[in-house]
Amino acid sequence: AKGIVIEARLDKGRGPIATLLVQNGTLHAGDTIVAGTAVGRIRAMVDEHGENIAQAGPSVPVEIMGLAETPQAGDVFDAVSDERLARELVEQRKQKIKDEQFNSVQKVTLDNLFSSLQEGELKDLNVVVKADVQGSAEAVKQNLEKLSNDEVRVRVIHSGVGAVSESDVMLANASNAIIVGFNVRPDPVAAQNAERDGVEMRMYRIIYDCIEEIQAAIKGMLAPKTREVEQGRIEVRNVITISSVGNVAGCYVLDGKVTRNSRIRLVRDGIVITEDDIGSLKRFKDDVKEVNQGYECGIVLNKYNDIKLGDIFEAFVVEEYRE
């Protein structure tokens, strides 16, 4: 099993207590684990309701006892087969911490990647990959790792399926990694935490664009000229079919706003389904230029018609900018 430490504390009566989020595999009571540079054998494991459990699978938060010392929030944990392997892993992590003390604390971004390479501040480019399906995640991972050269090693430290989550941002923050998403979006909490912690997230719809952009950054040729400006989030609460028009999405603006010129990203269960322009934006029967937070509206997309209840429309515009 593998995952991340959400929080940890020292209890006077019970010793170090850590709350873990399992990301891969199954964690069992009795497993030997390494959490950051802390080692131990799980003596007890309880779920969010305080009930003792014998095992925990992916996305399940658990509180464990048995570590020899208190890890840090954001530390990666691994369940290992024996204590000897655990000690070796701890030594590797301690050495990595020492090495990183000589590096700049500035977060790596594609914009500062080349200068960091030139100044000798960066040897590894750590990447967290999230995609809509496992096959895409593997394809992105393999193609990114092929970009490694004598100056920089591209290391995909985690790849998974689904929306970029809070734990992905925690992992990227702890590892000075960038997050690459393919056909997915970050959930709202993850987006807020990434902005707060300075974790760069790059989202793509075409694998080639992802690989080309990171390769250009490594070569010092990255020159972004446009960026997306998020305008608002809209929830589809009703779908009406009109023969002459197609499907009309009855929407509620959750936050921000949507305008007639907005570009729409349709997100379903954290997966990007499509991007499209707005064909029609109405309040009741009237065409309008803008609808703000807290109001209902009707939206028809230009090309995409398979709209479903619960879909999220992310409204944005693309603007040019200068560094």
Domain for residue 105, yes or no?
Answer: no
Boundary (domain end) residue, out of 100, 131, 146: 100
CATH number at residue 198: 3.40.50.10050
Domain for residue 107, yes or no?
Answer: no
The residues near 314 (Cβ < 8 Å, ≥ 6 apart) are 185, 230, 232, 233, 234, 264, 265, 266, 267
Domain for residue 144, yes or no?
Answer: yes
Asked if 28 contacts 52 with a C-beta cutoff of 8 angstroms, the reply is no
Domain for residue 126, yes or no?
Answer: yes
Q: Would the pTM count as exceeding 0.85?
A: no
Residue 300, pLDDT score: 96
Kindly state whether residues 62 and 120 are assigned to the same domain. Answer: no
Kindly state whether residues 220 and 117 are assigned to the same domain. Answer: yes
Express as a percent the part of the chain with pLDDT over 70. Answer: 89
CA–CA dist 94, 136 (Å, integer): 33
| Rounded (10°) angle between helices 166-175 and 188-197 | 20
Domain for residue 30, yes or no?
Answer: yes
CA–CA dist 118, 95 (Å, integer): 23
Kindly state whether residues 128 and 219 are assigned to the same domain. Answer: yes
CA–CA dist 252, 293 (Å, integer): 8
Residue 118, pLDDT score: 57
Kindly state whether residues 184 and 272 are assigned to the same domain. Answer: no
**Pairing assessment for the beta strands 226-242 and 201-204 based on DSSP bridges:** unpaired
Residue 104, pLDDT score: 44
Kindly state whether residues 257 and 217 are assigned to the same domain. Answer: no
Q: What is the mean pLDDT of residues 262-269?
A: 95
- Return the minimum-mean-pLDDT range out of 65-74, 143-152, 202-211, 269-278: 143-152
Which value, to the nearest 10 degrees, does the dihedral of the CA atoms of residues 203, 208, 213, 219 take?
A: 150
Kindly state whether residues 237 and 299 are assigned to the same domain. Answer: yes
Kindly state whether residues 191 and 275 are assigned to the same domain. Answer: no
CATH number at residue 60: 2.40.30.10
Query: What is the band of 77 on the pLDDT scale with cuts at 50, 70, 90?
Result: very high
Count of domains forming the chain: 3
- pLDDT, tens digit (0-9, with 9 covering 90-100), for 271-313: 999 999 999 999 988 999 999 999 999 999 999 999 999 999 9
Domain for residue 177, yes or no?
Answer: yes
- What are the C-alpha distances in Å from 155 to residues 127, 128, 239, 246? 6, 9, 44, 46
- For residue 290, the cross-strand partners are 259
Residue 95, pLDDT score: 77
Kindly state whether residues 117 and 220 are assigned to the same domain. Answer: yes
**Pairing assessment for the beta strands 124-131 and 177-182 based on DSSP bridges:** parallel
CA–CA dist 202, 24 (Å, integer): 23
Instruction: Give the structural domain span for 56.
Output: 2-100
Boundary (domain end) residue, out of 192, 224, 256: 224
DSSP 71: -
Query: What is the band of 149 on the pLDDT scale with cuts at 50, 70, 90?
Result: confident
Is residue 223 pLDDT above 60, yes or no?
Answer: no
Nearest to 317 by CA among 248, 256, 252, 251: 256
Kindly state whether residues 204 and 236 are assigned to the same domain. Answer: no
Give residue for tokens 């009571």: 29
**DSSP-assigned states of every residue in 191-259:** HHHHHHHT--EEEESSHHHHHHHHHHHHHT-----EEEEEEEEEEEEEEEEETTTEEEEEEEEEEEEEE
CA–CA dist 254, 233 (Å, integer): 6
Kindly state whether residues 85 and 127 are assigned to the same domain. Answer: no
Kindly state whether residues 118 and 213 are assigned to the same domain. Answer: yes
Boundary (domain end) residue, out of 224, 245, 280: 224
CA–CA dist 275, 7 (Å, integer): 37
| Residue at 80: amino acid letter | V
SS3 at position 79: strand
Give residue for tokens 């430290």: 157
- What are the C-alpha distances in Å from 159 to residues 130, 135, 182, 218? 6, 11, 11, 21
Query: What is the band of 217 on the pLDDT scale with cuts at 50, 70, 90?
Result: confident
Residue 124, pLDDT score: 78
- pLDDT, tens digit (0-9, with 9 covering 90-100), for 13-65: 889 999 999 999 999 999 999 998 889 999 999 998 899 999 999 998 999 99
Residue 213, pLDDT score: 86
Kindly state whether residues 95 and 15 are assigned to the same domain. Answer: yes
Residue 169: which H helix or E strand, with range? helix 166-175
Domain for residue 169, yes or no?
Answer: yes
Asked if 227 contacts 322 with a C-beta cutoff of 8 angstroms, the reply is no
Q: What are phi and psi of 49, to 5 degrees?
A: -95, 5
Domain for residue 178, yes or no?
Answer: yes
